[in-house]
Amino acid sequence: MANKNKTLGEFIIENQTEFKYSSGELSRLINSIRLAAKVVNHEVNKAGLVDILGTAGETNVQGEDQQKLDIYANDVFIKTLTNREIVCGIASEEEDDFITIAGRNEKNDNKYIVLIDPLDGSSNIDVNVSVGTIFSIYRRITPEGTPVTIDDFLQPGNKQVAAGYIVYGTSTMIVYSTGHGVNGFTLNPAIGTYYLSHPNMQFPEDGTIYSVNEGNYVHFPQGVKDYIKYCQKEEEDRPYTSRYIGSLVSDFHRNMIKGGIYMYPNTSKDPKGKLRLLYECNPMAYIAEQSGGKASDGFTRILDIKPTELHQRVPFFCGSKNMVAKAESFMKKA
């Protein structure tokens, strides 16, 4: 396969013209994310050395204050995007409010906004299990030349112009889409270059993996309980197997390669669900659909939900098309 040697940098340049408002800005934006991801990757890889280098809240041997990795990742992404003056606004899971970036000469003339979950699966850091970063990109809807407003951030997911994630796993990968399918790039840490390792990724239509925190079972809606029982039933193609890492990015990535469904339903404890629509569900739903998968809140397409607040939560069912459709049918029946 000739294009397996292609680097992410080459790929971005080659595909720039596919993008309908091609001015190079989106390419530069993805380039910045690629760069920030390398910096975060370097720090994530050192996480196991905290006992030697100092834990969060302490001062390390170099006299630097140690930060929690999710705060560190947040700072790296925000600084990289701000310094390069390529976005007009950022919203992050780690920030209460969105950030306005006036850019060159305070002109507010950049077109894109970014929403980000800088470190996803953060509870897995201390135990050497994969974590990730999730990003989502929109074109602003308020006029250029004025500061961004909340309306720019509360667009439905179907307005995304690009989205993706980075998985800091056994290898570090960046997987993203600009609306023309999904491509995955693997970092060669020796030379700091990402190579196109997974061209045109396809979510299998069916699968045999279900991923859900079954510790919450008693709190699930009846439809989810019924669907889980269906997955566990002895039939020709079942029982399915259960796999749950507790890092959305890693669970999603595995399911996209092998075929499966990820579920984080509403529970009696969290009636709106746990995952965040803007930072987690919309970008993952976009990647799922761009690769032939499906994403729903149990009843409605995730990408058609009109957000009402930045940190909104939503139940999430995402993965192989036929599995998500089946889960929805159980929700409807219950």
x/- letters, 154..193, toward ligand AHG (CB under 6 A): ----------------------------------------
- Cβ atoms < 10 Å from Cβ of 51: 7
CB 204 within 8 Å of CB 38: no
Indicate the pairing of strand 193-198 with strand 209-211. unpaired
Q: Which is nearer to Mn ion, 93 or 251 (CB)?
A: 93
> Considering CB distances under 5 to 8 angstroms, the limit depending on partner class, which of ligand AHG, Mn ion, none binds residue 274?
ligand AHG
- Convert 152-166 into a string of H (helix), E (strand) and C (coil): HHCCCHHHCCEEEEE
CB of 310 to ligand AHG, least distance (A): 15
100 vs 213, beta carbon nearer ligand AHG: 213
Question: With respect to Mn ion, which residue has the nearer C-beta, 39 or 102?
Answer: 39
Q: In this complex, which beta carbon is closest to Mn ion, that of residue 96 or of residue 234?
A: 96
Q: Which is nearer to ligand AHG, 230 or 244 (CB)?
A: 244
By a kind-dependent CB cut-off of 5 to 8 A, residue 247 interacts, out of Mn ion, ligand AHG, none, with ligand AHG
Question: Which residues of this protein are in contact with Mn ion, per CB under 5 A?
Answer: 93, 117, 119-120
Q: Which residue's CB is nearer to ligand AHG, number 31 or number 211?
A: 211
Burial 226-262 (b: 16+ CB within 10 A, else e): bbbebbeeeeeeeebeebbbebbbbbbbbbbeebbbb
Rounded to whole angstroms, the maximal C-alpha distance in the chain is 65
Does position 247 bind ligand AHG by CB under 6 A?
yes
Q: State which residue, 139 or 274, has the beta carbon closest to ligand AHG.
A: 274
At 173, is the secondary structure helix, strand, or coil?
A: strand
Nearest-approach distance from CB 63 to Mn ion, in angstroms: 28
Query: Smallest gap, in angstroms, from Cβ of residue 117 to ligand AHG?
Result: 5
Question: Which residues in the 116-145 window bind ligand AHG by CB under 6 A?
Answer: 117, 120-122
The continuous run of DSSP H or E covering 316 comes out as: strand 316-319
Residues in 55-94 that interact with ligand AHG by CB under 6 A: 93
Q: With 0-12 CB in 10 A as exposed, 13-18 as middle and 19+ as buried, what is 14?
A: exposed
Site membership for ligand AHG, residue 274 (CB under 6 A): yes
Give yes or no for residue 271 binding ligand AHG (CB under 6 A). no
Residue number with the shortest CB distance to Mn ion?
A: 120
Task: Report in angstroms how near the CB of residue 109 gets to ligand AHG at its nearest.
Answer: 32
How many amino acids of this chain bind ligand AHG (CB under 6 A)?
10
Kindly report the number of other CB atoms within 10 A of residue 202's CB atom: 15
Rounded-to-10 torsion of CA 117, 123, 126, 130: -60
If you write DSSP's letter for every residue of 120-140 in order, what string do you get? Answer: ETGGGGGGT--EEEEEEEEE-
- Rg of the chain's alpha carbons, rounded to an integer? 20
